[in-house]
């Protein structure tokens, strides 16, 4: 399965053509191979900028040993966009970022996702925050992996889509107030320990449909709202509660829009 972020490959198929898309990158599609499709995409975004977000949530650029081996992925035009969408860098890329001198935006240190240690195991029981959230929010008895550390199946109602899911692999854990947004709203001042607590705070986490978490990325409610209309007001208030809990601040235009949205919800 190949998905493109902000890019689309359009094929005009005549009646006498039969197009077969296969996993193997060696298969020829009537003269058009999958590498050719990826090359076409690369020309749109820059050959060196193709980054694959794997189903396991890791961002692989072309320097990754797993870049060619990753067959099911979403394409992003940069490592930064992939990470902002909820992915995490490979260990090698994470180390590179750690060794780079931090840059700043208007005096605020640039957001680096690895600064916000997430999916921690605070109680050292072998189950990290992601799976504890899945366990706690399942509406049915959950099925675990053989070692008991991972939740594999359960029943979750996704408020963003209004759909019900039964496989944990179909879900991502969304930070209602995204880490990147929180960073520039004041979380950059947090200590290392406070950043980790924020990144793992259950009051700011929801299991949701993977594609919706990716489409939301680091957007606030002024730029993105769940497609489930019945949940939008609850989402706006949820976002606002977390902002107040951590004393984070909106930009002036965001605050005006948020106040208008909340007023409309009350009305």
DSSP string across 7-43: --------TT------S-TT-EETTEEHHHHHHHHHH
CA 36 to chain CA centroid, nearest Å: 28
Mean per-residue pLDDT over the chain, rounded:
82
- Residue 226's nearest CA partner among 236, 260, 218, 267 is 236
- Residue 139's nearest CA partner among 170, 112, 165 is 165
Q: Who wins on pLDDT, 141 or 80?
A: 141
- DSSP strand pairing (51-54 vs 58-60): antiparallel
CB distance 250 to 231 below 8 Å: no
CB distance 170 to 143 below 8 Å: no
Strands across the sheet with 143-144, in order?
143-144, 151-157, 164-167
Distance between CA atoms of residues 135 and 156, nearest Å? 10
CB distance 153 to 142 below 8 Å: yes
pLDDT band at 72 (very low <50, low <70, confident <90, very high): confident
Q: Is pLDDT at 148 greater than 70 in this prediction?
A: yes
Place of tokens 């009646």: 15
Q: Who wins on pLDDT, 84 or 151?
A: 151
pLDDT band at 213 (very low <50, low <70, confident <90, very high): very high
Say what the pLDDT of residue 95 is: 52
């Amino acid at each position: 399965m190949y998905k493109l972020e902000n890019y689309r490959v359009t094929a005009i198929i005549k009646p006498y053509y039969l197009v077969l898309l296969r996993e193997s990158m060696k298969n020829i599609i009537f003269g058009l191979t999958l590498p050719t499709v990826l090359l076409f995409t690369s020309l749109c975004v820059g050959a060196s900028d193709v980054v694959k977000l794997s189903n396991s949530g890791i961002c692989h650029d072309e320097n990754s040993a797993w870049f060619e081996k990753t067959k099911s992925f979403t394409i992003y035009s940069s490592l930064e966009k992939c990470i902002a969408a909820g992915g995490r860098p490979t260990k090698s890329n994470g180390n590179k970022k750690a060794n780079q001198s931090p840059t700043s935006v208007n005096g605020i240190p640039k957001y680096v996702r690895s600064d916000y240690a997430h999916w921690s195991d605070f109680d050292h029981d072998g189950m990290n925050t992601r799976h504890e959230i899945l366990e706690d929010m399942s509406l049915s008895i959950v099925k675990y992996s053989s070692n008991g550390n991972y939740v594999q199946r359960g029943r979750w109602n996704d408020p963003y889509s209004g759909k019900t899911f039964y496989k944990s692999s179909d879900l991502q854990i969304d930070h209602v107030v995204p880490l990147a947004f929180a960073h520039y709203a004041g979380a950059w001042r947090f200590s290392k320990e406070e950043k980790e607590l924020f990144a793992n705070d259950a009051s700011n986490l929801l299991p949701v449909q993977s594609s919706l978490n990716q489409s939301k990325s680091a957007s606030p409610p002024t730029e993105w709202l769940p497609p489930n209309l019945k949940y939008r007001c609850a989402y706006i208030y949820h976002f606002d509660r977390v902002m107040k809990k951590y004393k984070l601040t909106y930009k002036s235009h965001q605050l005006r829009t948020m106040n208008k949205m909340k007023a409309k919800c009350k009305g």
